[in-house]
Amino acid sequence: GDSVTQTEGQVTVSESKSLIINCTYSTTSIAYPNLFWYVRYPGEGLQLLLKVITAGQKGSSRGFEATYNKETTSFHLQKASVQESDSAVYYCALGEGSNYQLIWGSGTKLIIKP
């Protein structure tokens, strides 16, 4: 089946330091997967952070970046300098074009140390 793996349930980073949240995926049924990062800030609903639909391309939003790497089947989320306002839970997800049924990772909680 198809799956998305986020190995870290929680990541703690000092303010102004760099961040990487790992995401790998596996699919046997989707020929051209679309990849997404969603975020849930405290007290808010899930919202799309960024998406990439073409292998080799990079998506970016709010200082975050993720590159769709088909060779390593990865879509890691990175940020050069985190802020306290980035504290949230981040979810990686996989979808198929117009079908748009998403397969989700288990989420990574980001804690920022002052």
Residue 101 interacts with another protein (CB under 8 A): yes or no: yes
Find the part of the chain contacting another protein (CB under 8 A) among 13-21, 23-31, 59-67, 95-103.
95-103
Distance CA 25, CA 111 (A): 24
**Cα–Cα dist 75/52, whole Å:** 9
The C-alpha atoms of residue 13 and residue 83 are separated, in whole angstroms, by 9
| Residue 17 per-residue DSSP state | S
Give the bridge partners for 79, in sequence order. 19, 64
- 51 near another protein, judged by CB under 8 A: yes
Kindly state the number of chain residues that form the binding site for another protein, as judged by CB under 8 A: 20
Does 98 help bind another protein (rule: CB under 8 A)?
yes
Q: Which of 19, 93, 110, 112 binds another protein (CB under 8 A)?
A: 93
**Window of 18-26, 38-46, 56-64, 69-77 that interacts with another protein by CB under 8 A:** 38-46
Instruction: Give the containing element (helix H, strand E) for 86.
Output: none
Residues that bind another protein (CB under 8 A): 4, 9, 44-48, 51, 91, 93, 97-102, 104-107
